[in-house]
Amino acid sequence: MCQNAFVPYKATLIPGDGIGPEVADAAVHALKATGVEIEWERAELSADIIMASGESLPLHVVDSMRRTKVGLKGPVTTPVAGGYQSVNVALRKTLDLYANVRPVRMLPGLKTRYQDTPIDMVIFRENTEDLYAGLEHEVVPDVVTSLKIITRRASARIARYAFDYSRANGRKRVTAVHKANIMKLGDGLFLKCCREVAREYPEIQYKELIVDNASMQLVMHPEQFDVLLMPNLYGDIVSDLAAGLVGGLGIVPGANIGEEAAVFEAVHGSAPDIAGRGIANPTALMLSAVMMLIHLGETDAAARLRAAIEKTYAEGKALTRDAGGTASTEEFTAAVVANL
Q: Which residues are catalytic?
A: 132, 179, 212, 236
Task: Give the integer Cα–Cα distance in Å for 80 and 62.
Answer: 24
Task: Give the integer Cα–Cα distance in Å for 160 and 98.
Answer: 12
Task: Give the integer Cα–Cα distance in Å for 174 and 76.
Answer: 32
Per-residue HEC secondary structure of the chain comes to: CCCCCCCCEEEEEECCCCCHHHHHHHHHHHHHHCCCCEEEEECCCCHHHHHHHCCCCCHHHHHHHHHHCEEEECCCCCCCCCCCCCHHHHHHHHCCCCEEEEEEECCCCCCCCCCCCCCEEEEEEECCCEHHHCCEEEEECCEEEECCECCHHHHHHHHHHHHHHHHHCCCCEEEEEECCCCCCCHHHHHHHHHHHHHCCCCCCEEEEEEHHHHHHHHHHCHHHCCEEEECHHHHHHHHHHHHHHCCCHHHCEEEEECCCCEEEEECCCCCHHHCCCCCCCCHHHHHHHHHHHHHHCCHHHHHHHHHHHHHHHHHCCCCEHHHCCCECHHHHHHHHHHHC
Pairing relation of β-strands 70-73 and 262-266?
parallel
